[in-house]
Chains A and B, each alone.
Chain A
């Protein structure tokens, strides 16, 4: 469903096959280092602008590389790449990227390597390839050998790649060297390929522990569960439903100038079960309880659902709220609700009775009220 990064090692292995001599080094696995030679060592975890951050070492011996790896490991990295150095002149460097677009595959090319294409659009040629004819045109316009370009396009398409950036690309005597490569694959393609898998997907950002737990939960259900921590000491905590509706509700807080108060963003959708909703809600509530803000509001809100059962998901949220009810009262948390959809009436009644009984009641709105009603109430309460 989303585009995800795979390791540079895997991308190059898929593109070049056995001719690729790079070595993947992982801290948790033993890896035999080569005896001699001159190498390039780098962090292989989808980090942007590695060179500037000092995460690439060029022209090193295996021993020097091992030292670098140990150093980077201390910085929190765990996956590295060791590649034979390709001696070349800087004017041999080029830029090439492929992006899957509606009409085919969009190719960006520049005769200069190592450039930031965003800042130098004038140096970049843009082409879209949908057939062989296009391919020939691009090949002659860029001077990239047709066989190589065709090979890259085929591999890209067949392996469900979504984006590939080779920067720099060096072509010497008809042989292409991919000095640096970044690759996004389409995670929905995983079922159809054997060339890459979960093990090759890199996560560049170390998630907050709550985020990590929700991610784990997400992996076990067809429903959608997402959580991002914005401000651990925020006042407004969101238990939102729906990919689009959740943004509208969060927008309202930002637009009303309460952006600084937002503790988290997240959403559940796609009909999670009562149990899944319970586990998800628990993470958000726990996060809120840890915030040191003086006034705290929980916003349980969403649009008019198409098929997510309001009663069922609210039962799951109530399960989680019950578990923390004394602490929530202690911290004087109030709960603000807006929701519509299947079994709306029963769900809202259930929630209303519960919040009343537990003295957590902030406000409750159904589908006749505006989607932003609950968050508006919560802002008034928290500010």
Chain B
């Protein structure tokens, strides 16, 4: 089975050596529009990061990164069949050798660098030329429509995937030394109403690892290929390989070639063009000589490029059936700036109390903490149940909140657990996380005072002040917060609940003004804590006041949230995406007046 058929049978996994996010993203876009369930890029080698974020369709995912090939875990190794080496010419040789030492069963790869020494290329040929398919050095790689995009080949802009019809298999093999012209021919094939069987950019270097002859024999043996479209340049003698293969009847599929370089005749002496090989050293290496030789052997070698394109339309093809590509999914997506995991399921609605009974009677760590902070044994299982419920609810509220963000940014700056945690905890205050304590003080004032809820609200919100424990971004009257409802069930365990009642009275007043000003988790938690402490633990109003001034209710938040922050910290260290920097477009900067 040849390399291309093997790829079509599912050997599509790529290990990327080096850092070229634009190319990697283009591969993931290709995979997505071709309908793959998971990206072909298995992992990335290089850099200090542990993971790098890319889009797969409309959503993001993390691709694992490793320091070198030997660190790729066994679980991933079996998936890797191709190497995409985008490292510099200085490193390409060593990394390629170690790739194939680690993955001896890999099919091949692509070397992207333009400045790989000839000595290294010839050594790569000696070691891997006979057994692997290696596109390059230089060029843009190798493409099998619908299956594999190994490199920048076919473009790095999602729009080009559709324009060049890269998801549809066809009959034309595109072979080119020049990377840019590989893409030009890929588009030309699509514009001619044909589709590709595969495309390869051999690279403009003097010694491509997989030679032109080898690629042509691959096209000859490929079951899908019916014709070969070739782009070559002046300099070198590659085209004579085509001539030889045709003459020896090893290549019988039609070849349509354009050999560029007639312009060289406009110079007084032969010129070195863009590619290393593009220099006429002998008369036989001129574009004209090579065109003549190809024609003599029976290949089509039109004189001008427009003629070449016209001839392309007549090459054998099949009925073309293009899939509609999900291009919408690739538009308008915006990269996230931080990544973390879901620590607790915020959508899950807990049940603490059912039919006036505690669901769980277990006393655990939360009970111990309450006892330590209150300096007494808890008298009532209701208090213990409440402690467990509150701590469970407050562990995390997503990575978006200020404290979690600060923890993550510190972690990505390389700080340790304690420092990163401290940076998160230091964020807790009047605007973030401090509402439970403030709400407790507020409900205590309300119940002790003689004002009605309406008067209380009127007085407290004067001058635009906000009430603690009131208001939600998402929930409103008619769409109740399920967590508030779950906590509110604790009221059914109590004979009286004046603080809870007062909070609900206040809510009636505020929601009359604005439906989103409902009692929130902080507010209900504070109210019920006061009721439970007063009734089940028999704390006096003075003792409750003392809990507010000693910030017990802040501790109620800080203790469980510490766990959440640590979870976000650990996630950062695990992925290690590098130092965080806010993308410019997310920051408004007021310019200095000049």
Contact = CB atoms under 8 A, between A and B. Distances in A.
B70 interface: no
A2 B231 CA distance: 21
A134 interface: no
B211 A303 contact: no
B260 A306 contact: no
Contacts of A189: 117-119
Interface in A229-285: 230, 241-248, 250-255, 259, 262, 265, 267, 269-270
A252 B302 CA distance: 12
Contacts of A187: 115
B448 interface: no
Interface string B296-322: 000000011110010000000000000
B588 interface: no
Interface in A316-363: 340-345
A241 B306 contact: no
B276 A2 contact: yes
A244 B262 contact: no
Interface string B246-275: 000000000000101111011100011111
A371 B261 contact: no
A230 B267 contact: yes
A230 B269 CA distance: 11
Contact of B233 (A101, A247, A303): A247
Contact of B156 (A100, A242, A245, A342): A342
B529 interface: no
Contacts of A162: 118
A142 B275 CA distance: 35
B152 A306 contact: yes
Contact of B266 (A230, A252, A302): A230
Nearest to A260: B266
A195 B272 CA distance: 26
Contacts of A250: 263, 266
B180 A241 contact: yes
Nearest to B187: A304
B119 A306 contact: no
A183 interface: no
A161 to B, nearest CB: 9
B260 A248 contact: yes
A344 B271 contact: no
Contacts of B263: 247, 250-251, 253-254, 259, 262, 265
B160 A160 contact: no
Nearest to A343: B157
Interface residues of A, number: 58
Contacts of A252: 304-305
Contacts of B136: none
A304 B231 contact: no
Contact of A259 (B204, B266, B282, B287): B266
Given A102-B211, A244-B180, A307 B119 contact: no
Contact of A248 (B119, B164, B181): B181
Interface stretch (B171-179, B346-354, B404-412, B466-474): B171-179
A363 B238 CA distance: 36
B82 interface: no
Nearest to B116: A188
A315 B114 CA distance: 26
Given A262-B266, A307-B156, A245 B180 contact: yes
Contacts of B305: 248, 251-252, 370-372
Contact of A305 (B155, B261, B273): B155
Nearest to B307: A255
A368 interface: yes
Nearest to A310: B157
Interface string B138-180: 0010000000000011111101100110000000000011111
A187 B118 CA distance: 9
Interface in B173-207: 176-184, 186-187, 191, 204-205, 207
Interface string B203-238: 011010001000000000000000000010110000
B114 A245 contact: no
Residue among B22, B89, B266, B287 having the largest count of chain A Cβ atoms under 10 Å:
B266
A88 B282 CA distance: 32
B459 interface: no
A244 B232 CA distance: 8
B117 A186 contact: yes
A340 B118 contact: no
Residue among B23, B114, B180, B205 having the largest count of chain A Cβ atoms under 10 Å:
B180
B157 A342 contact: yes
A241 B180 CA distance: 9
Given A188-B116, A251-B260, A306-B140, A342 B184 contact: no
A185 B422 CA distance: 58
A136 B231 CA distance: 41
A376 to B, nearest CB: 8
B181 A242 contact: yes
B178 A243 contact: yes
A275 B79 CA distance: 42
B358 interface: no
Nearest to A118: B282
B260 A188 contact: no
Interface string B6-41: 000000000000000011001000000000000000
Nearest to B266: A259
Contacts of B207: 102
B574 interface: no
B493 interface: no
Contacts of A160: 117-119
A186 B115 CA distance: 9
Interface string A34-63: 000000000000000000000000000000
A270 B180 CA distance: 10
A200 B309 CA distance: 46
B511 interface: no
B118 A186 contact: yes
Interface in A95-145: 100-102, 104, 118
B177 A100 contact: no
B535 to A, nearest CB: 68
Contacts of B566: none
Contacts of B272: 2
A233 to B, nearest CB: 14
Contacts of A2: 272, 276
A124 to B, nearest CB: 14
B89 A226 contact: no
B181 A188 contact: no
25 contacts: A3-B276, A102-B125, A224-B114, A226-B274, A243-B273, A244-B180, A245-B184, A246-B273, A247-B260, A247-B274, A247-B278, A248-B258, A250-B266, A251-B261, A254-B266, A262-B263, A262-B266, A303-B181, A304-B160, A306-B153, A306-B183, A341-B157, A341-B160, A342-B157, A371-B305
Given A160-B117, A247-B233, 17 more contacts: A1-B89, A1-B205, A157-B119, A192-B117, A226-B274, A241-B180, A242-B180, A243-B180, A243-B204, A244-B231, A245-B180, A247-B263, A251-B261, A251-B262, A304-B160, A304-B183, A307-B22
Which 6 pairs, one residue from A and one from B, show the smallest C-beta to C-beta distance? A244-B178, A243-B274, A242-B180, A303-B184, A244-B181, A342-B157
Interface of B: 22-23, 26, 89-90, 114-119, 122, 125, 140, 152-157, 159-160, 163-164, 176-184, 186-187, 191, 204-205, 207, 211, 231, 233-234, 258, 260-263, 265-267, 271-276, 278, 282, 287, 303-306, 309
